[in-house]
Structure 1
Amino acid sequence: MRFPFLLPATGFFAAYLLFDWITYVEPLLGLNITPWNPDTALGLVFWLVYGRRAALPWYAALVAGDVLVRGLPGGLAGTLLTAAWLTCGYGLLGECLRRALGGGTIFSSRTSFYRWLMIVAAGTMLNAVGHISLLAWLGLVPWADWLRAVWRFGFGDMVGVVVSMPLLWKLVNPQDRARLREAAWKPETVGYLALAIFVLWAVFGYIMTAEFKHFYFLFLPLIWAASRQGVHGAALVVFVLQLAIVALVRANHADNITVSELQMLDAVLALVGFFIGIVVDERRQVAEELKQTLRLAAAGEMAAALAHELNQPMTALAVYGKACEHLLARGEAGDLLKNAIGQMINESARAAEVVRRLRDFFRTGAMQLESVGAATLQAGIVQQFRPQFAEHGVQVSVAEAPALAVQVDRLQVELVLRNLLANALDAVRMRPAGQRSISLMAENIGGKLRFTVEDSGDGLTQQAAGRLFEPFVSTKASGMGLGLVLSRSIVEAHGGTLWAEVADHGIFRFILPALDSGE
């Protein structure tokens, strides 16, 4: 395209005039001084996207609005002069927003939201002071009405931006637009929008006789939308309510009612809804980050289990490789060589399967269930810790495991046992030599498999036990506080429970559902 900016500029020009015409309600002195100006929000979004190139289309739209919507109340010269002033004022406001808030971070946190709100409030009111002063100097606004006109114009711009800009800003962002499109097709979206319209009709009835004492009912659909869909839901409800208010005013020809009061109430709704929506979005973001952190921690914890799992196939591959070398040196090309090569292929496939399981767990948290006997789980994990137990002089007792099997992801359950034994080892290392002991016991408790890890270290107090499974709470100087959180998540994902007991020594237990038959 030779003129890539022409299409968005034309679209902006048409949308700006449409907004200007729809919201030309209760004008003061026949000028563009109205209680709600969403066209200002559209202009600011256009400026944030295209920068200073937005100045000329915005100036043209301001002039066209005075010509087509209001019939040039200030004459051609006055219209050209005031449009130039407004373009400069809005442009400065747009530049302030660009520099202070950057790209798509305006409604991503409470801090950026408050900053946006303060800039909009200050910018619209300062712009109103200059614009109304210019109109008064031109003789279009009596100086006696200067303060009322400043308040009406500034408040109209501020309400228009606060109510409309969040939705418009999200519509120009591809990711947010996709989320809005997805949300629009959900039944609950239709539900809370329909509820908003119904409540508006029920509260105000016929707009000519509107009373605002039951306005608080409008918080019902707003809170529903914000709590379920965050800022996206709040933006939809607030914008729809604003359009419905203007439609009611126009349909009933209620130009004599105090529309500014309605707009003030809607602005309060908007602020409450956006605040709730941002808090909901922030909490979801934190939850996603915590989930990812736990998954990364799980990947790190599983590395030790993988080292053990990969050790056997790697060792076997080396043995079979040596065997192939000897067979080739002897000139053997028969069944013995084919068998050795086949075993190498099997062991390499086994190693690849272990790596694939880690990759799947890292990406999606997926489990690969298999039937594993209690004795196998117990013996395998203790064997991995025996060198460390011997190094620190820890006495280890392992009770005989019952003939029970569990349907679990063996790597993940071994990770839980590894965490508990590692914590027990850290606890007993603080004890004098000869007083370091750890016991591991597997029991059949009502058809369920219960593992117990006890150590001779200091036990847990009631206060410490209460915070033990909170993320990022650790008694170790180098600990992240995620091991027990991850372990409990794994056990619960397998349908079991994990807990610690308050005692004078360490006691941790977890239960897993068992299969009917043993190994």
Structure 2
Amino acid sequence: MAYRETIADNFNRRDAMESLTAPLAPGRLRWTHGALLVVGYVLLDWASYIHAMHGLNITPWSPGPALGLAFVMRFGARVAPILFVAIVLADSVVRDLPTTFPLTLLIATLLAGGYTALGEIMRRRFDRSLMFTHHRALLAWIVLVIAGTLCVSAAFVSVLVVTGVLPGWQWLEAFARYWIGDAVGVLITMPLFAMLMDERGRAFLASVLHRWETWLYGVVMLGTVGVTLGLGPDTDVRYFYIVFLPMVWAALRGGLAGSVLTATLAQLAIIAAVQLRGFTTVTVFDVQALAVVLVLVGFLVGVFIDEQRRLGAELRQSLRLAAAGEMAAALAHELNQPLTAMSAYGAACEDLISQGEQGERLLDMVRRMVSESHRTADVVTRLRDFFRTGDTRLERVPVAELLNSAAEPFAARAARSAIELSVGRAGEACVLVDRLQIEVVMRNLLVNAFEAVEAGADQGRWVRVGAEAAGPGRIVLTVEDSGPGPGAADAARLFEPFHSSKSSGLGLGLAISRSIAEAHGGRLWGEAGGNGVFKLLLPLQEGSVS
């Protein structure tokens, strides 16, 4: 890693994640939305009307309710009359039901009411785009879909049995088939419909579709479904587990959006294979049951991946804010000198004016005040730049000066605590670094060293700061103390964020320090042993003498 790389690069390497909000109020329902629901429902019902039981809408896959539920989540219960019309038209256009028209209206009322009630529950509990931010929300949605479709299916089939359309002994078979068809349709296709109807969801899907890898695992999914269901006897689905590979791949790389798109492709490929191969009804339902497991695994993995990325982004933001706090401490030290100088020059100006001085001496004091104000503004600008982008401002700094400036603020503390503070010789070596950021690292190491020594015995207390060559073009800055050193297990975790041996510590100082070191093309590590030893490796400036 080049040492010109910024700290922002260390903190911000992540895939962009959309921020998700709480469920919104129902949107405005236009006539175009109603027309889209009716036409879409009829077309989906026509496309999925395969292996129907007794000519009824009891099929292995029923995506129409998924579209209706997505509209209810978007526009609320006002969709119910339009959904009723869509169901009546689908029954009239797609199939010739062996029922009377009043019974058709009764069934449509039952289904529209059931789907609307289920959609209203979803709208009140989940984000309308179904972009789940936590796996618990996804699991709750799955349970709700299974329970809701179960209730609607039981009521629908019971009406058919009571009215004599179906014999009573077929109730269980009809219920199981209708429930599986509805549940499969909702679980597989509703997330896609919900995302397509939401602006954030469309942007999320578009970001995934823009990656070439998405198209690759989509093609692999189509190929695996074709090979699995296109070869061998039409009752043999034992190799269906191969289809899990592209689904998990899509979830790992594309998160929930990737798994939603791939699940839709898988379902379309399954239906195409079923139609082309002429599978038996029993085999179709077996395949659909496996497809549900496939999709649920993909969705769960996708949500876990999205959740991990979101938490990682939040952690990096926390590290960035903590780093800003560390930088503020360094800036306070840097600002102290110019502000003190400005105060002294201002007092000198008052004395000169009181003495009647209006010549060169007064102008010299004013120039010095202006110079110090420019220095102060430069320090503040560096803080602003760090907050915005994490940029480093490199300058040539002698190593000896760096060691002395880092140790100087601790001289008084060393005297109060009877600690021997020594700074080793560094020769004429120079490094090209951001002085403020490297001082943050050294200050963190010295604070830890002093705290470790102060917590130990009263005798033989010391802290040493030094430098030594580490091969061509590199130098190691060392902070060593007489306090107890970390064990082998602790040394491996010292630089993990939020890992701290101090009850009042956040555990971010060393993590931030390591990021700063890496941004400069260096490395920071601690050595396990009887006393504390931390080393900071930095590249020397070209032409510098070690």
Q: TM-score, normalised by structure 1?
A: 0.92
Residue 466, structure 1, aligned to residue 492, structure 2? yes
Alignment match, 1:515: 541
Contact kept? 2:250, 2:258, Cα under 8 Å = yes
Distance 2:401 2:410 in 1: 15
Alignment match, 2:74: 49
The partner residue of 1:362 within 383, 387, 391 is 387
Aligned to 1:455, the other structure's residue is in SS state strand
Amino acid at match of 2:531: H
Amino acid at match of 1:95: E
Residue 168, structure 1, aligned to residue 193, structure 2? yes
CA-CA distance at 1:336 after TM superposition: 7.0
Q: 1:477 to 1:142 in 2, by over 3 A?
A: same
Residues 115-143 of structure 1: CA deviation (Å, up to 9, x unaligned): 11111111111111111101112222221
Residue 186, structure 1, aligned to residue 211, structure 2? yes
Residue 24, structure 1, aligned to residue 49, structure 2? yes
Amino acid at match of 2:492: G
Residues 423-460 of structure 1: CA deviation (Å, up to 9, x unaligned): 01111112344432111111122131101111111222
Distance 2:133 2:109 in 1: 33
Q: 1:222 to 1:436 in 2, by over 3 A?
A: same
Aligned to 2:164, the other structure's residue is in SS state coil
* RMSD of Structure 2 on Structure 1 (CA): 2.6
- 1:308-327 equivalent positions in 2, closer than 5 A: 308-319=333-344, 321=346
Contact kept? 1:208, 1:254, Cα under 8 Å = no
CA-CA distance at 1:245 after TM superposition: 1.9
Residue 490, structure 1, aligned to residue 483, structure 2? no
Contact kept? 1:207, 1:254, Cα under 8 Å = no
Distance 1:24 1:252 in 2: 16
Contact kept? 2:423, 2:464, Cα under 8 Å = yes
Distance 2:350 2:458 in 1: 49
Alignment match, 2:236: 211
Deviates more, 1:219-228 or 1:388-397: 388-397
Distance 1:46 1:133 in 2: 27
Distance 1:490 1:425 in 2: 21
Distance 1:304 1:241 in 2: 56
Deviates more, 1:390-399 or 1:427-436: 427-436
- 1:64-463 equivalent positions in 2, closer than 5 A: 64-101=89-126, 107-205=132-230, 209=234, 211-251=236-276, 258-319=283-344, 321=346, 344-447=369-472, 448-463=474-489
Q: Name the count of aligned residue pairs.
A: 517
CA-CA distance at 1:264 after TM superposition: 1.3
If asked which structure has higher relative contact order (CA below 8 Å, sep 6+), I would say 2
Distance 1:126 1:90 in 2: 10
CA-CA distance at 1:176 after TM superposition: 3.0
Q: TM-score, normalised by structure 2?
A: 0.88
Alignment match, 1:475: 501
Q: 1:364 to 1:56 in 2, by over 3 A?
A: farther
Q: Which runs of 5+ in 1 are unaligned?
A: none
CA-CA distance at 1:149 after TM superposition: 0.7
Distance 1:338 1:68 in 2: 95
Residues 265-285 of structure 1: CA deviation (Å, up to 9, x unaligned): 211110111111112112111
Q: Which runs of 5+ in 2 are unaligned?
A: 1-27
Q: 1:103 to 1:455 in 2, by over 3 A?
A: farther
Amino acid at match of 2:393: Q
Amino acid at match of 1:25: I
CA-CA distance at 1:493 after TM superposition: 2.4
CA-CA distance at 1:316 after TM superposition: 3.9
